Chain A
Amino acid sequence: MVDTALKRGRNAVVLSLHIPEPEGRPGDPADFSKIKLPEPGEVRRPPIEVEPAEIRDLAFTLIRVLDREGRAVGPWDPRLPAETLRQGLRHMVLTRAYDDRMYRAQRQGKTSFYMKCTGEEAVAIAAAQALEFDDMCFPTYRQQGLLVARGYALVDMMHQVYSNARDPLKGRQLPIMYSSRQFGFFSISGNLGTQYGQAVGWAMASAYKGDSRIAAAWIGEGATAEGDFHNALTFASVYRAPVILNIVNNQYAISAFHGIAGGQRSTFASRGIGYGLPALRVDGNDYLAVYAATAWAAERARSNLGATVIELYTYRAEGHSTSDDPSRYRPQEERERWPLGDPINRLKQHLIAIGAWSEAQHKALEAECAEAVRAALKEAESVGTLGQSRPSAKEMFEDVYKEMPWHLRRQRQEAGV
């Protein structure tokens, strides 16, 4: 049939345009049955010198360390001291408390905009702990956990969110678009994907200088569709740049499910394969797995073996931002049904399982973090919230150039500031 149809110059069927559809919409049950999960501990851990072509399968599986009972199993267990784990837990709890409080502040009209990373805390925090403090991070707006883990002052983050007189970015940036060279946190761009290739360039510079520092970048699965993502992978591969290219697959890009970014036909980790890069696919809600994968990629980069792609498989538990309402486009109970759980609960469970933590300690930690946020907020609000306090309006004209050209000086005069 097909043959004769083709002989006559016709198609076997009438062409039709394919539009991807998610498993469910509001009102439907949450359906994650298509997600195939290997057992924790099942995936092998190759030596860092491995040829990328030999580990292509690692782009299609899922590296998991924590099992259902909270035990760490298999070759990817990073065997971290309990103190490191407790620190990781604290950073995650603090980040979540900070997010909750600042989200509320936006709702109270104290700022214009906010974005949480709820459910994705391990992605940034385990990575921050696996990297060296002076490695350079090129984050998106959902890796505030990097700053928290590196010890950046919460109150300075709040000043930025409030665009107040103490805002380190002088009122110029949208809330949450932090920047701190000192803390190895590259200036966040509102334009998706742009920072990915810049991380590669930073890493190339480090290699050029014979330095020991590496770079790490993060991008959402949605933004991997941008040309900048593919440019970054090409450069990273060609120049064997010492960079870790993280893809945070939290299933959604605002309202668009991962299939709109091409997630139904292949994994996001597998994007690396075509560029000859080693690619790992990791349970992003498993703190230990994220830590171990980051450490593996960092060791490769530091051994001059080049870049690694890591897909962090996770779930955006809340809305995209304060401007979003996910109940309009996805099944309500997805969050509870997410098969990989919550990163904080899972690390807590592990610490308890190894006898290094207790419910009572956890309660105390939550109270301590809430208090830290409350104290920082009090200080930030004593300076002022958006509109109550702001940097000098002169700042509007500074830093456009290193030296202000005549036309800007004239405009500043005209503005009367």
Chain B
Amino acid sequence: MPTMNMIQALNSALDVKLNDDPNVLIFGEDVGYFGGVFRVTEGLQKKYGATRCFDAPIAEGGIVAAAIGMGAYGLRPVVEIQFADYIYPAYDQLVSEAARLRYRSAGDFTAPLTVRSPYGGGIFGGQTHSQSVEALFTHVAGLKTVIPSTPYDAKGLLIAAIEDDDPVIFLEPKRIYNGPFDGHHERPVQPWSKHPASEVPEGRYTVPLGQAAVVREGADVTVLAYGTMVHVALASAAEAGVDAEVIDLRTLIPLDIETVQASVKKTGRCVIVHEATRTSGFGAELSALVQEHCFFHLEAPIERVTGWDTPYPHAFEWDYFPGPARVIAALRRVMEG
């Protein structure tokens, strides 16, 4: 089986879908001839022609509006928003239009688009290339939100997202495009090739939306994470010497509540980790759900380890990024509690 990094795996997913389905087409800023600023669409225009993979004007609202129109016609557009930090001009189209088209037309029109966007920090991108925007979408009824953490999942989830009949926000943790990152920025970068989930089949397969993965089994505490933070959580659990069960949520909406619930009922403790700002972050929703579903099993207060409630500051990359030190401290606190 070939070894792929996350960029190659995403490219392979797009390749598979362009090949399988003439209704799939791709557009976004710089995605055509150039192949995207992160190279995710590299070679696709050459292989499938300019009408299947093309550059869009710098107008995120226009990109999503056009994708909704195409979806209503019957196509399956996959659009790229160059950085999640630039998705806001498209927010009205996503929230008021894509999310509600099925509902308000009683199923007469739908918007089966996939919006791919690199997100998250750890790259010294400053406040406009580092944001984690997931909660802005999980809050909206009618949108699905998906975040992969490995090349294997990235490909399978992206194919599932494209085949899904509802609009999907597909956020790609750009810090781990080229290799897993456990938060130890002072150590050398690891390539994906050393990670088992870099083995990616060539052809079509899916990782179903709405299914979390238990990436480390444990008895003492459940860690809920997604994206880059899955790798930080795994490293932190190992370093803390805590028998943690680490769950990679993979899809935030619809959430795999069964897997979460079964784990927390088993461990009795829960730590939630995300890069996004804390207040009204997705961790708040997770915390409420765990409390509702597992209250009588909890042996310690639920902990959240998150980005601070500030913009992402350039000079303070590693003070802001919720790295291993903070995750380990939270694990220790819940174990003592």
Bound pair: A and B?
A: yes
Residues of chain A whose beta carbon lies under 8 Å from any beta carbon of chain B: 16-17, 19, 21, 25, 112-113, 163, 167, 170-175, 177, 189-193, 222-223, 225-228, 253-256, 260-262, 323, 328-329, 386, 390-391, 393, 395-397, 400, 407-408, 411, 415, 417
Query: How many contacting A-B pairs (Cβ < 8 A)?
Result: 127
Residues of chain B whose beta carbon lies under 8 Å from any beta carbon of chain A: 29-30, 32-34, 37, 50-51, 54-62, 85-86, 88-89, 124-129, 278-279, 308-311, 313-316, 319-320
**Majority-rule SS of A interface residues:** loop
A189-B55 in contact (CB<8A): no
Q: Which residues of chain A have C-beta atoms less than 8 A from B320's C-beta? A: 396
Shortest Cβ distance from residue B128 to the other chain A in the assembled complex, whole angstroms = 3
Closest to A171 in B: B315
Closest to B54 in A: A19
Q: Which residues of chain A have C-beta atoms less than 8 A from B85's C-beta? A: 190-191
A262-B30 CB under 8 A given contacts A190-B128, A411-B278: no
A260-B55 in contact (CB<8A): yes
Q: Bound state CA distance, A113 and B60, in angstroms?
A: 24
A225-B309 CB under 8 A given contacts A171-B315, A174-B125, A328-B34: no
Q: Bound state CA distance, A228 and B32, in angstroms?
A: 24
- Point out which of B33, B127, B311 has the most chain A C-beta atoms below 10 A from its C-beta: B33
Q: Bound state CA distance, A189 and B311, in angstroms?
A: 13
Closest to B57 in A: A225
B319-A415 in contact (CB<8A): yes
Closest to A223 in B: B58
Q: Bound state CA distance, A50 and B127, in angstroms?
A: 44
A172-B311 in contact (CB<8A): yes
A255-B30 CB under 8 A given contacts A173-B127, A190-B85: yes
B314-A171 in contact (CB<8A): yes
B315-A391 in contact (CB<8A): yes
Q: Which residues of chain B have C-beta atoms less than 8 A from A223's C-beta? A: 58
Closest 5 CB pairs of A and B: A171-B315, A190-B128, A174-B126, A225-B57, A255-B34
Shortest Cβ distance from residue A186 to the other chain B in the assembled complex, whole angstroms = 16
From the candidates A171, A191, A254, name the one contacting B86 in the complex (CB within 8 A). A191
A226-B89 in contact (CB<8A): yes
A262-B57 in contact (CB<8A): yes
Shortest Cβ distance from residue B260 to the other chain A in the assembled complex, whole angstroms = 25
A167-B62 in contact (CB<8A): no
Q: Bound state CA distance, A167 and B126, in angstroms?
A: 14
Shortest Cβ distance from residue A72 to the other chain B in the assembled complex, whole angstroms = 36
Q: Which residues of chain B have C-beta atoms less than 8 A from A417's C-beta? A: 319
From the candidates A25, A189, A192, A391, name the one contacting B33 in the complex (CB within 8 A). A25
A396-B126 CB under 8 A given contacts A222-B58, A227-B89: no
Q: Bound state CA distance, A19 and B32, in angstroms?
A: 10
Q: Which residues of chain B have C-beta atoms less than 8 A from A328's C-beta? A: 34
From the candidates A19, A189, A261, A397, name the one contacting B51 in the complex (CB within 8 A). A19
A411-B33 in contact (CB<8A): no
A171-B316 in contact (CB<8A): yes
